[in-house]
Structure 1
Amino acid sequence: MKTKEAIFASIKGELIVSCQALPEEPMHSSFIMGRMAYSAMKGGAKGIRANSVEDIREIKQTVDLPIIGIIKNVYENSDVFITPTFKEIDLLYREGVDIIAIDATKRIRPDGKTISEVYPVIKEKYKDQLFMADCSTYEEAKTAYELGFDFIGTTLSGYTNYTQEVNLPNMELMERLVKDFPVPIIAEGGIWTPEELKHVFDLGVYSAVVGTAITRPMDITKRFIEAIK
C-alpha cells in the first residue's frame, strides 16, 4: 500500500487518465478498461480514475499507479450517483483504492442528507483513507475544503442541473479554486486537447484528469463526424 505522501507526490503536476465505460457503452468490459489503463500508463499517465471494483481489480493486474476509485450507482430519490452512499465507499475502501472520489455537490444524497452532514462521519469511519470531492461550483468546493477533503476536483461542473450552461473546461473555476484553497485542486471535466491540458496546468492545478478525449472512441469519433457535417 502506498503512503499518503507517496500518492500526493506521484500525481503532482501529472496527468490522470479516466478509464470508464458504463453498461450501455460499447467499451463496457473490465478487461478492456484494464488494457485502456495499461495503455495510459505506457503513454505516461501517472494516475488512473476508474469506476467499479471489478474494473479496479482488473486494472491493478498490470498497472501500478495511484487509482482514484468511484462507484457509479443511480438511486431513484437522488441525483447523486458518484459513490453516493456508505455501501459504495465501503466496497472501494475494502478494495484498497488509493483515493476515493465522492459527489460533494449541494444535492441531497440518497439517504436524505447533505455532504456537510455525511462527510464528517465518513472521515471518522475511514480515518486512513484519502478522499476527493467531486464539485460543480465554487461554493461546493469551499464547503469541501472546510470539511477537510484531501483533494478538490471540478469534476461535476457542467453536469449538475444548475451548471449546465457552463463552458467546459471551466478554467475560471479552476483558477479561483487554486487561488483560494491551499489543497490540491484536480482539474477535471471537458478537457479535450493537449493545449487545454497545458492551459489548466498553467493555472496552477495540482493534477488533471482526462477521460473521454483519450478513452471513449465512440465520443471521439462523433467529434470528428460533427466536424465534417
Structure 2
Amino acid sequence: MTSTAACRTRCEQCSGPLPLLARADARFCGATCRKRASRARLAAERRRVEAEQVARIPAELRSRARWVRYSSRKVPLRVDGRFAAVNNPATWSDFAAAAAATCGQGFGYVLAAGDDVTVIDLDDAVENGRVLPWAQRIVGALPATYTERGRSGRGLHLWFRGRVPHGRRVRRGEVKVEVYCDRRYIIVGDRVPGTPLELSDLPEGALEALV
C-alpha cells in the first residue's frame, strides 16, 4: 500500500509543487511555507483557547463594549492592531470583535467610570497551586464572586459589581493587593473552577478586608 506521504506532490501551505529531491515525508516546499504553517497552527490554537474562555466569562462583561486586545508586552491594542487607550472608548470594541481579532496575545476588559465594576488584584497569591494564607483570608472575607487566575498563574483577580472612590495599592510584607475601578484594563485569564460565573456586589467597607 502506498502511503499518503509518498504520494504527496504539493506543498500543504501554498499548493505549489514540492522540490524534485524532497524527502518522501516532505509537507512543505521550503522554510518560508513551513514557518507560515507553524504560525497558522499557533494562531488556530490561540483561537481555540480563547473560544473556550468565552464560556467562562460572565455575560455581564461580555455585553459591554469595553474590550481590547493586548500585545506580548501587555500594551492594549485595538482589534486592528493599532494602539488602544484606556481613556479613549473609541479604541475599544465589543466582545465579539475582540474575541474574533487575531492581533496580539489575547483580550482584556477596560474598567471605566460609570460601569460600577471593580477588580481586586492579589499579586503572588498562589504558590504551587495553593492560595497563600494572606490571600485566602481576603478571599474568605469577601462574597464569592467571579474570580480568575492572572496571566502568570500566580495572581488572582476578584471581579465585583460596585465602585470604590479611588484605586488602592497595599504592599505590606508578603501582602500585595491592588484595587482597580477606572482607566485600567485587565487581561482576561482563566476562571478559577468553582467560583461563580457572575459578579457579586461589593459590600460597603469591603476594602477593610485588605488590611
Q: TM-score, with normalisation over the residues of structure 2?
A: 0.24
Give the structure with the larger strand fraction: 2
Give the structure with the larger helix fraction: 1
Greater C-alpha Rg: 2
Q: TM-score, with normalisation over the residues of structure 1?
A: 0.23
